[in-house]
Every structure is written in structure tokens, then in C-alpha cells.
Amino acid sequence: MLEGNIKIRVRYADTDQMGFVYYGNYAKYYEIARVELFRNVGLTYKSLEEMGIGMPVIEMKTNFIMPAKYDEKLIVNIKIPEMPKLKIKFLYKILNEKSELINTGETVLTFMNLLTRKPKRVPAIMKDKLSKYFE
């Protein structure tokens, strides 16, 4: 299993009139965590796209437990629980600065050839970079 923690500070623009993080922004927080987790293992979305590989989200689940508020520091814990094949699953837990669990989520992405727009298996470079976490 591959796991990481990403820190995010809630910006004013992320909040609604009540001062809570607008629900749609959790998808953005999940994406930030995915991008940084890949960066930490030596992969970037940019390099994957340059190789003709896209990763569209095909499923997203989220559970709102407590609201996040403006200027709070959040920790997004992200896990890839299994070695990807045709799809890659991510699990998320978001904690506030008091270490209280405020949100859980899951996304499933697939791999796509950007030229043909057809699904493909996990790219070899990703398999190589991730394999040591799933031995």
C-alpha cells in the first residue's frame, strides 16, 4: 500500500457564506493529494500526459463528517490500497488541525490513451514506480 499526507490550508475562496468549505472543493483537495502523492514517488501528471496517458475520474464517493473552516490547516491522508491494473483506487481521510476526522472519500480513476481516448492498462512507468509499495 502506498500512503502519504498532504497539508492544505483552507483559503477564503474555498468557503461558502457560512465560512465552511464548500462541498465541491473536497474533490479539489482529493486531486491535490493525488498529484502530490505521485510527485513524491517520482511521477507527475504532466509527465504522464506528455507520454499520452490520461487519468479520468470515473467514480467518487465522499462522506462529510464535520465542516472545515476558513484558514484551518487540513491534513489529507491518501492511500492507494492495491496495485492498479485497469483502474486505480484512492482512499482519503481529511483531518482538521485538532486531528479530528472531518471527511472521508474514495475516487477511482482509469487510464486512457489521450490520442485514441480508449482505456488502457496501468502504464509501465507507473507499475515500476509503485511496485515496491505492493510487494
- The string of DSSP letters for 115-135 reads TTTEEEPPPHHHHHHHGGGG-
pTM of the prediction?
A: 0.95
Instruction: Write down all domains in the chain, each with its CATH number in brackets.
Output: 2-134 (3.10.129.10)
**Contacts of 44-50 spanning 24+ positions with Cβ under 8 A:** 48/123, 48/125, 48/126, 49/114
> With bands split at pLDDT 50, 70 and 90, how would you rate the model's confidence at 39?
very high
118 burial via Cβ count (<10 Å: 0-12, 13-18, 19+): exposed
Q: What percent of the chain has pLDDT over 90?
A: 99
Is the predicted pLDDT of residue 135 greater than 90, yes or no? no
Q: Which residues contact 7 (CB under 8 A, 6 or more apart)?
A: 73, 74, 75, 76
| Residue 49 pLDDT class (50, 70, 90 cuts) | very high
Q: In terms of DSSP H, where are the helices of the chain?
A: 25-40, 45-50, 124-130
